[in-house]
């Protein structure tokens, strides 16, 4: 059950759907995911596997568990590949997934208006989330808190160590948001916008179908009207839109797995700390895997390999005696023997790294074969 | 015919560019392709049938060379002695000082070899050339061709192409003179001592009696060759066989490769071979009989492994020298590196240097003796050297770095000198 809604400035075509469940969600996918290149040169960002599952699926499954039956993905480019792959998932989960295509970029608020026909099809509040967010999704708690205070909107906030790098949120003990402060020079708060919201359909009156920033043009007015509340997130949180943070987020996620559901984590010879290994992967002898490693389907790890703080995507091969730390190895890559890779090196799809090389912060585009060491961080085209 | 050979091996104040490797052992004893550097010279001399005695001249303390000399006598069954200069006498001063020792027994000629050159020395050929000259030669120099640019870093020889007499000689000129350079290997007639004596005495007169220290230092190149050139008494024999100098620690890797290759000719038994329960060998590799190498290791090309060294499972070594008593633990990768004695390298560690080989596209190009630092004050990429008794932890990288002896490295290093 997939359809796409398109915008035009003169008329918005509405499609009327029978709503099966009660809640809806909008995931802001946006554009080409350039910060996660070279991975996103081969696959759309929401489908890049994080902890062995497409990023967007982590979010969708959590939404479904909280009672969402319709998910709209707001994209600004044609997403046939995503539509095909997610069609299967939609069927499995028994929900409806639709795509809302922005023909011009509509910012962080505009896409909400664009999807109005679905989001406001009944009176239930709807979720809006950033597609790059990973955490212990608090969707059920959000609904509860939102209905409790009964106002127009709820934002999830999370504590960060260095708030002056972001915009912080100031709110009182009931959660009512007073104001936002961009990159504060002195400490006013350590809570930032975590990129997950729940809104009543009435919020659509505040948004126009044009490029609009939700942080600058919507939230301040809602706060001024006393209609915006903050809910603190507990547990880990990460924006995994770039490789360094993708890996940090992976560590936090694996740690959370350990605290909640240890059975998913891999136990075997040579495993250290939290490790996730797909059942179809093969690991050789005398390896040391972990801590903080995810290994995807059909991956082959030969003998004597040491991997720490890495994501190894589907079909990759790591040949013997190689040492990897802090890397993302793309789909179907072949990393040779006695290779050393570190410092957030990222290999795109189908990259070959020859034996005995040293790759230090190399970012390698897909289908490339590397025959010389990369001594200092750089992009290899 | 009776011949002798004199090998000039210098002393502790010489060969400082070979540090830190020369901090532990006299440079002439540093092993290249499994043998102390100067043993290659001794071996070349011992293969000339009429050689009766080999004299090592230098100013290292005698007891540092005692064991080596005894080993050489036992190995080559030839008379070998170390003559210690009481002070640095210069490349000719030592020969003059010990002239009686060299002349005793009336040798027909004697070879002189610089201890810090290396190569495939055609000693029999230069002897034949020297002894069959129509007019007698006081000194015949072994020369080889260099590029125009690099020639000015060596002693330059201008040759009469027909007679092979040396018309002119100048050491490290500032402008181009000739691309035929001095290899630091000579064959001399005993008559040369008279000539050296004349030059020595004239220099004594030049320096008045108040300054009697340091006047005995005579350089073979500047003080002997230059005046004799053009008198019809000095000749040059040109060779195109491999020749190089060993000045820096990095050049030991280059020499290692070439000496290993030379073993194919007459010492093939020194090279390691593949076999069941043995490590995989690629190209030329020397493994000391007492070294332990795991069968899953991959060694070569151009690797020397020293006495009692231990190479662990899945280790990769290429273009490197591993000195005695050193342990390399499993899965590590050692490329273009010299690992000093008694060192320990952890598991999954990468040691890597950068070679400074001569430009393969230029015929006759020699190794560039690259300075340690570049114009911006940064360390030039070079062979990685670990001094003796260095400990490198597991899972680190040491790249283009020099580590002094007895250092325990706490982390990775790149392009640094670690004191």
Output the DSSP codes for A198-248: EE-GGGGGG--SSSB-HHHHTHHHHHHTT-EEEEE--S-EEE-SSHHHHHH
pLDDT level of residue B249 (50, 70, 90 thresholds): confident
Q: What is the pLDDT of residue B179?
A: 92
Q: What angle do CA B48, B49, B54 make, to 5 degrees?
A: 60
Only one residue has tokens 């340690």, namely B372
- CB-CB under 8 Å, A375 with B314: no
A343 touches chain B (CB under 8 A): no
Q: Which residues of A are catalytic?
A: 183
For the range B76-81, what are the long-range contacts, defined as Cβ-Cβ under 8 Å and sequence gap of 24 or more? B76/B42, B76/B43, B76/B46, B78/B46, B78/B51, B78/B52, B78/B53, B78/B54, B79/B52, B79/B53, B79/B54, B80/B42, B80/B53, B80/B54, B80/B55, B80/B56, B81/B53, B81/B54, B81/B55, B81/B56
Residue A134 pLDDT > 70, yes or no?
yes
What percent of chain A has a predicted confidence (pLDDT) above 70?
Answer: 94
Q: How large is the average pLDDT for residues A240-248?
A: 96
- When mean pLDDT is compared across A38-52, A77-91, B94-108, B273-287, the lowest value belongs to A77-91
Q: What is the pLDDT of residue B207?
A: 56
Chain B neighbors of A358, CB-CB under 8 A: 350, 352, 397, 399
pLDDT level of residue B205 (50, 70, 90 thresholds): low
Q: How large is the average pLDDT for residues A50-73?
A: 95
Residue A263 pLDDT > 90, yes or no?
no
| pTM of the full structure | 0.87
Which residue among A286, A303, A338 places its CB closest to the CB of B333? A338
Q: How large is the average pLDDT for residues B8-33?
A: 88
B345 touches chain A (CB under 8 A): no
Q: What is the pLDDT of residue B408?
A: 95
Q: Tell me which residues of chain B, numbers 6 to 65, contact chain A at a CB-CB cutoff of 8 Å.
A: none
- CB-CB under 8 Å, A375 with B331: no
Cβ atoms of residues A330 and A351 within 8 Å: yes
Give B127-169 pLDDT, tens digit per residue.
Answer: 999 999 988 899 999 999 999 989 999 999 999 999 999 999 9
What percent of chain B has a predicted confidence (pLDDT) above 70?
Answer: 97
Token pair belonging to B395: 């899972």
Residue A208 pLDDT > 60, yes or no?
yes
Q: Tell me which residues of chain A, numbers 283 to 302, contact chain B at a CB-CB cutoff of 8 Å.
A: 286, 288
Instruction: Please state, in angstroms and as integers, the Cα–Cα distance from residue B418 to each residue in A337, B332, B353, B402, B405, following that order.
Output: 29, 21, 15, 6, 10
pLDDT level of residue B215 (50, 70, 90 thresholds): low
Which residue among B318, B397, B414 places its CB closest to the CB of A340? B397
DSSP state of A316: -
Q: What is the pLDDT of residue B377?
A: 81
Residue of B279, B345, B348, B396 to mutate when probing chain A, most A C-beta within 10 A:
B348
Only one residue has tokens 């350590």, namely A190
The closest alpha carbon to A171, from A112, A219, A237, A234, belongs to A219
- SS3 of residue A65 by DSSP: helix
B414 touches chain A (CB under 8 A): yes
B350 touches chain A (CB under 8 A): yes
The closest alpha carbon to A142, from A224, A249, A62, belongs to A62
Q: If you count residue pairs, one on A and one on B, with CB atoms under 8 Å apart, how many are there?
A: 44
Exposed (0-12), middle (13-18) or buried (19+): which is B70, by Cβ within 10 Å?
A: exposed
A304 touches chain B (CB under 8 A): yes
A116 touches chain B (CB under 8 A): no
Only one residue has tokens 């109005």, namely A116
Q: What is the pLDDT of residue B216?
A: 61
Chain A neighbors of B318, CB-CB under 8 A: 356
A358 touches chain B (CB under 8 A): yes
């Amino acid at each position: 059950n997939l359809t796409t809604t398109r915008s035009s400035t003169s008329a918005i075509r509405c499609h009327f759907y029978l709503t099966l469940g009660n809640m809806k969600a909008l995931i802001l996918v946006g554009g080409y995911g350039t910060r996660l290149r070279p991975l996103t040169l081969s696959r759309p960002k929401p489908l890049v596997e994080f902890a062995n599952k497409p990023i967007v699926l982590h979010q969708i499954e959590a939404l479904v568990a909280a009672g969402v039956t319709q998910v709209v993905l707001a994209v600004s480019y044609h997403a046939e590949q995503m539509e095909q792959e997610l069609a299967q998932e939609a069927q499995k989960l028994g929900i409806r997934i639709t795509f809302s295509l922005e023909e011009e970029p509509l910012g962080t608020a505009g896409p909400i208006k664009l999807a109005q026909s679905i989001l406001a099809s009944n009176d239930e509040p709807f979720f809006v989330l950033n597609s790059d967010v990973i955490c212990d999704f608090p969707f059920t708690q959000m609904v509860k808190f939102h209905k409790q205070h009964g106002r127009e909107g709820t934002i999830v906030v999370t504590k960060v160590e260095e708030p002056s790098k972001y915009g912080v949120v100031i709110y009182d003990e009931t959660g009512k948001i007073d104001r936002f402060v961009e990159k504060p020079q002195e400490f006013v708060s350590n809570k930032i916008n975590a990129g997950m919201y729940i809104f009543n359909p009435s919020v659509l009156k505040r948004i126009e179908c044009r490029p609009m920033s939700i942080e600058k043009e919507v939230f301040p007015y809602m706060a001024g009207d006393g209609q915006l509340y903050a809910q603190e997130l507990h547990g880990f949180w990460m924006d995994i839109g770039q490789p360094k943070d993708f890996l940090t987020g992976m560590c936090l996620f694996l740690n959370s797995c350990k605290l909640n559901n240890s059975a998913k984590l891999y136990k075997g010879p040579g495993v250290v700390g939290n490790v996730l290994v797909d059942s179809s992967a093969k690991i050789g002898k005398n390896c040391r895997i972990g801590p903080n490693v995810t290994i995807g389907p059909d991956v082959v790890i030969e003998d004597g390999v040491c991997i720490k703080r890495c994501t190894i995507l589907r079909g990759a091969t790591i040949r013997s005696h190689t040492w990897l730390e802090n890397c993302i190895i793309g789909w179907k890559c072949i990393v040779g023997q006695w290779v050393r890779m570190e410092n957030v090196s990222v290999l795109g799809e189908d990259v070959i790294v020859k034996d005995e090389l040293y790759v230090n912060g190399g970012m390698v585009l897909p289908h490339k074969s590397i025959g010389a060491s990369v001594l200092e961080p750089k992009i290899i085209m | 015919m009776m011949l002798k050979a004199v090998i000039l091996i210098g002393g502790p104040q010489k060969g400082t560019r070979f540090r830190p490797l020369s901090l532990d052992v006299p440079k002439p004893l540093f092993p290249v392709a499994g043998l102390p550097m100067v043993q290659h010279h001794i071996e070349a001399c011992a293969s000339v049938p009429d050689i009766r005695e080999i004299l090592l001249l230098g100013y290292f303390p005698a007891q540092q060379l005692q064991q080596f000399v005894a080993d050489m006598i036992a190995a080559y069954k030839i008379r070998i002695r170390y003559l210690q200069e009481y002070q640095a006498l210069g490349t000719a001063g030592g020969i003059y000082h010990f002239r009686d020792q060299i002349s005793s027994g009336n040798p027909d000629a004697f070879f002189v070899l610089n201890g810090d050159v290396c190569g495939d020395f055609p000693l029999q050929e230069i002897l034949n050339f020297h002894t069959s000259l129509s007019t007698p030669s006081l000194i015949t120099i072994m020369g080889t061709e260099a590029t125009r640019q690099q020639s000015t870093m060596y002693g330059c020889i201008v040759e009469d192409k027909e007679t092979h007499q040396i018309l002119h000689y100048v050491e490290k000129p500032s402008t181009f003179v000739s691309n035929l350079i001095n290899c630091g290997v000579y064959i001399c007639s005993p008559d040369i001592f008279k000539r050296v004596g004349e030059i020595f005495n004239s220099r004594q007169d030049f320096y008045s009696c108040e300054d009697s220290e340091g006047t005995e230092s005579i350089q073979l190149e500047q003080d002997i060759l230059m005046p004799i050139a053009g008198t019809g008494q000095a000749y040059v024999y040109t060779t195109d066989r491999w020749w190089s100098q060993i000045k820096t620690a990095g050049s030991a890797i280059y020499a290692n490769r070439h000496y290993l290759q030379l073993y194919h000719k007459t010492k093939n038994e020194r090279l390691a071979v593949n076999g069941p329960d043995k490590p995989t060998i690629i190209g030329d590799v020397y493994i000391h009989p007492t070294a332990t190498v795991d069968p899953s290791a991959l060694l070569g090309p151009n690797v020397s492994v020293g006495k009692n060294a231990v190479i662990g499972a899945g280790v990769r070594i290429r273009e490197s020298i591993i000195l005695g008593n050193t342990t390399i633990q499993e899965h590590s990768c050692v490329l273009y590196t010299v690992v000093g004695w008694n060192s320990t390298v952890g598991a999954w560690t990468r040691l890597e240097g950068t070679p400074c080989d001569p430009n393969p596209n230029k015929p006759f190009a020699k190794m560039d003796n690259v300075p340690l630092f570049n114009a911006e004050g940064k360390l030039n990429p070079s062979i990685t050297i670990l001094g003796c008794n260095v400990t490198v932890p597991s899972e680190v990288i040491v790249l283009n770095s020099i580590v002094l002896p007895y250092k325990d490295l706490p982390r990775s290093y790149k392009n640094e000198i670690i004191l």
